[in-house]
Amino acid sequence: MKTAVSLPDRIFTGAETLAKRLKVSRNQLYARALDEYVARHAPEAVTKALDRVCKRLGAQEENEFALAASRRILEKTEW
């Protein structure tokens, strides 16, 4: 899909420099950056990925200590 966007000069210059350093096209750099940004803002994708890892590792039994520790950490974490 082709699209046009406006960027501040500072961001454009930084992106040009990074693309050259990584030896990728501007299109590839922007696509990668946007893909990463979207992934970071899709919490359900993170949950699904962690569920797959747990399933693959065979994490079937609940560990009460781990559950309690996880709960305490999550309660203190600002989302």
Is residue 30 within 8 A of residue 19, CB to CB? The reply is: no
**pLDDT (tens digit per residue) in 7-65:** 999 999 999 999 999 999 999 999 999 999 988 888 787 788 888 888 887 765 667 78
At 68 the pLDDT is 86
At 61 the pLDDT is 62
Question: In angstroms, rounded to a whole number, what is the distance separating the alpha carbons of residues 65 and 12?
Answer: 49
Its pTM stands at: 0.55
Domain parsing of the chain, residue ranges: 9-40, 43-76
More confident residue, 61 or 75: 75
- SS3 call for 23: coil
Gap between the terminal Cα atoms of the chain: 33
